[in-house]
A and B are shown apart, each in its own frame.
Chain A
Amino acid sequence: MKPTDIAAPDYFHKVVDCQWACPAHTPVPEYIRLIAQGRYSDAYMINWKSNVFPGILGRTCDRPCEPACRRGRVEETPVAICRLKRVAADFKDDIKHRLPKPSAKNGKRVAFVGGGPASLTVARDLAPLGYHCTVFDGDPEAGGMMRTQIPKFRLPNSVIDEETGYILNLGVEFKGGHRIESMKALLAEKYDAIFVGSGAPRGRELDIPGRKEAAAHVHIGIDWLSSVSFGHTDKIGKRVIVLGGGNTAMDCCRTARRLGGEDVKVIVRSGFEEMKASPWEKEDAIHEDIPILNFLVPVAFIHDNGKLTGITFQKVKAEYDAKGRRNLVPSGEPDQTLECDDVLVAVGQENAFPWIEQDCGIEFDKWHMPKVDPKTFVSTNPKVFFGGDAAFGPKNIIWAVAQGHDAALSIHKMLSGEDITERPLPEVHVSSQKMGIHEWSYDNDISNDKRFKVPHRDKVIALKDIRTEVELGYDVKLALGEAHRCLNCDVQTVFSTSLCIECDACVDICPMDCITFTENGEETDLRHLLKAPSPHPDQDLYVSSDLKTGRVMVKDEDVCLHCGLCAERCPTGAWDMQKYLIEMTHAGSACPTKSRSAA
């Protein structure tokens, strides 16, 4: 293998598994260290810069970082990255003075369709640069589905108000209750750019016999949830069936439990394991006495003269074809009818753009989705950008934020007369953490603690009021314990070939058998020559140039604890522990020096 180019910004970024997996590339270990030091406001600001909604995301994020976290490869569970984010939000001081100030306008106007996380992120990045941002939303308040869909027992309004407020206070104009009915008309208003962040607002239908007749008691999940959010709906029948296995279904069933549902069931077509809902959402639902029944396909709504009485299900089983694809086939058992008073249909979400005319220069593909460039987020109309659920279908908040940052950068570049396909590389800061022979400016002692549970409110109290937040969040002590579990993956092991005398001290001390000195070879050969097996080929090998003996140093990054013992034991300082801080390029980042093509 060729010597590893550690100067390439992606190399060490990938080692910080959580940050690499975060769509917005939040510097996770950096903020976790700040939490451990009690510097909650600083931790909050790092998050605010990257992911815009730390308090909201600290309660609701889909957390792609956690399955990626190195700790999960070293012991059973990853660091509770998400809930530590909430700690920063919960314990911070007033940070308003640290936010950008509304700046003098630069005369350019940007319109936003929708006020969800995607639009708000773009506005947050552009407003401080002097753009006049006008956000239109059909709903009265900002926040999009964060406000209208996510139930209040998971995300209180106060948190949404605070964090959307930080953005609107940057001088962003918010026009609530103002639905955009025509793209043509909006284009005619001669905005310099338009960002479409209108989400995926339509719940998928379930067209089976009885649907029309029983309509009064069959509700589309996301419509029902927003109606609950707005206070239009405040009760439901005693026996409720929720159809669907995603996170919407989990929110529906838990909401139903709080509005009078006593016998609430979730029923899914697939197996329990394949459900789309996150494991922790399923856990929370089950904890609230909601059974999840699987392998049942709804075939008819049963009604008595228009009054819903139940649903009939066909029983199925999973069969796998030669290619390993799963098919659900009837199991041959008799159909089953389950009684209920109300049904919540949560079987998927769709995009809909009835307000975008065919002849606006915005092309759609055969699935009726706008043609959007996945890196610049521009549509086929160079002034119109898409992001969030509107761009590529329903995802989640953190993806909406990440895409918002990229779209904002495109809009800023376009309006600065630059090529939007030239994407500046992230800024990388490197600094040795050495303080003394065995002293580092980070805590390199590895905690053996298992993941700390976030305390929950007593179930009886929690179920009484839909506005009572279930999770109480970590207290300072639990947060400190959990923060210590982080392995500081951003404090990188950096190797200097010229200093190494091949004494084997690092090999001998490394608790994880990461380091091997060997003859060089192709990557697959090297992986077999390592001191310990290498089960994750997606984890890079760090390879040195040739050493004095003609061998090379190979380090499997996979399960390195970043404990720094290799550097402590190295007699010549050939290993050093250096902190890599990678800051993603946002609109208006100070003069980026390097760039790569988006093509």
Chain B
Amino acid sequence: MTYIAKPKFHHPGLKKNELGYTHRDYEGKISTLCAGCGHDSITASIIEACYELSIEPHRVAKISGIGCSSKTPDYFLGNSHGFNSVHGRMPSVLTGANLANRDLIYLGVSGDGDSASIGFGQFAHSIRRGVNMTYIVENNGVYGLTKGQFSATADRGSKSKKGVTNTDNAIDLVAIALQLGATFVARSFSGDKAQLVPLIAAAIGHKGASFIDVISPCIAFNNHAGSTKSFDYVREHNDAVNRLDVLVGRDPIAVDYAPGTVQVVEQHDGSKIALRKIDADYDPHDRLGAQTFLARHAAKGQIVTGLLYVDPDAEDLHSHLNTVEAPLNTLEADTLCPGSAALDKFNASLR
């Protein structure tokens, strides 16, 4: 929180994207979160990814629930559509919006409380239905907005700021997303933009349910010794399986990688993901392998990050339901409501 507006001036040498925008053009209002909150770095990463993809802001819908994390859509893409829904209800609002208009890019922004506690069911169903969206959980292990109670992602045995030990088992949203069939699954850390920005860009390019769990330290209530979501802890236990670059448009794939270390994944929108392997054994196309890998490393106390699973040929909810392609708001009344004759015919077909 600060009292002055962020100055309009920007660095005179800022690069512009294909639309002629600088990254500053993707900002929103000035953040009101605590100074140093990891969520602000995720905001900055979303801004950077949208800038790099030259996304037209009016083509984005940002939808969130309740929490410090869910407040962040106010701080990026000030010229996009937004819906700040009820606690835990972001997935259903997003699903509805997506069904009504598949032409927009859907960014679901949520917290661990919003998605793993009150909204756990909502989260699960939007993932298993394959809604075409980028679902980002800003995961700090606590309910930040309500002053730091443990959330459902807090690790068993981790300590609260006041020294209380958490006795409940943790939900690993990445493991659940994999199990529920998400077709793009990643984990990252708010303090590692080099990893996070391309992950967000790749997730936006993915057609299907993309889920990113971003560990994001709550500076006010969960950044102490004994926490497993603090800057220090995450840095010490971060085990990145890969790094990636997202290549959009005509840019040729950079060739300065050692041969055999790069895997290129082509996405639906024509963009390419160049994956640089760090862990030679890790295969991001193997859902089952990913699940075991995660479980094994979690047991060792490691936080696995990177692009964990991707199915470049995924389908989304619209293709499953065979819905009309045109956004509903572009259809005329007689198309939307073809009349009782059409209804009778339809009912007859079900008899």
A positions within 8 Å CB-CB of B: 73-75, 438-439, 444-446, 448, 501-505, 507-509, 511-514, 532-535, 548-549, 559, 561, 563, 565, 568-572
Answer whether residue B336 sits at the interface, using C-beta atoms and an 8 A cutoff: no
Closest to B23 in A: A513
The interface residues of chain B lying within 8 Å CB-to-CB of A438 are: 1-4
Closest chain-A Cβ to B194's Cβ sits at a distance in Å of 10
With contacts A508-B44, A571-B219 known, is A445 near B4, CB below 8 A? Answer: yes
Interface residues of B (CB under 8 A from A): 1-15, 24, 31, 34-38, 40-41, 43-44, 190-191, 193, 217, 219, 223, 231-232, 235
Q: Which A residues are in CB contact (< 8 Å) with B235?
A: 548-549
User: Which chain A positions have C-beta within 8 A of B5?
Assistant: 445
Residue among A502, A507, A559, A563 making CB contact with B12, cutoff 8 Å = A559
- B residues within 8 A CB of A535? 12-13
19 chain-A/chain-B pairs, Cβ below 8 angstroms: A438-B4, A448-B7, A501-B232, A503-B36, A504-B40, A504-B44, A504-B191, A505-B37, A509-B6, A511-B7, A511-B8, A513-B14, A533-B13, A533-B15, A548-B235, A559-B11, A569-B35, A570-B35, A572-B36
- Contacting pair A561 B9 (CB below 8 A): yes
CA distance A508 to B41 in the complex (A): 6
B35 touches A565 (CB 8 A): no
User: A438-B3, A445-B5 given. 8 additional CB < 8 A pairs?
Assistant: A438-B1, A438-B2, A445-B4, A501-B36, A504-B193, A511-B10, A512-B11, A535-B12
- B40: chain A residues within 8 A (beta carbon): 504-505, 508-509, 569
Q: Which residue of A lies closest to B5 (CB)?
A: A445
Cα of A568 to Cα of B9 in the assembled complex, Å: 18
Closest residue on chain B to residue A512 by CB atoms = B11
Select from chain A the residue with minimum beta-carbon distance to B13. A533
Chain A residues within 8 Å of B24, by CB: 511
Interface SS majority for chain B: loop
Q: Give bound CA distance, A4 to B3, whole Å.
A: 31
Q: Which residues of B contact A570 (CB under 8 A)?
A: 35-36
| Complex: A513 Cα to B9 Cα, angstroms | 11
Which single member of A448, A507, A532, A548 contacts B14 (CB below 8 Å)? A532
On chain A, the residues within 8 Å of B217 by CB distance are 503
Q: In the complex the two chains form, is A501's CB within 8 Å of B231's CB?
A: yes
B2: contacting residue among A513, A533, A565, CB under 8 A = A565
Closest chain B residue to A556 by CB distance? B11
- Chain A residues near B4 (CB, 8 Å)? 438, 444-446, 563, 565
Measured CB to CB, the closest approach of chain B to A436, in angstroms, equals 10
How long is the Cα–Cα vector from A446 to B190 in the complex, in angstroms?
29
Give the residue of A445, A502, A512 whose beta carbon is less than 8 angstroms from that of B9: A512
Contact B35 A568 (CB under 8 A): yes
Q: Give the Cβ gap from A272 to chain B, nearest Cβ, in Å.
A: 27
Contact A446 B7 (CB under 8 A): yes
Please state if B191 and A505 are interface contacts (CB–CB under 8 Å): no
Contact of B7 among A73, A548, A563 (CB under 8 A): A563
B193 contact set on A, CB distance < 8 A = 504
Q: How far is the CB of A515 from chain B (nearest CB, A)?
A: 11
Determine whether the beta carbon of B7 is less than 8 Å from that of A505: no
CA distance A561 to B36 in the complex (A): 21
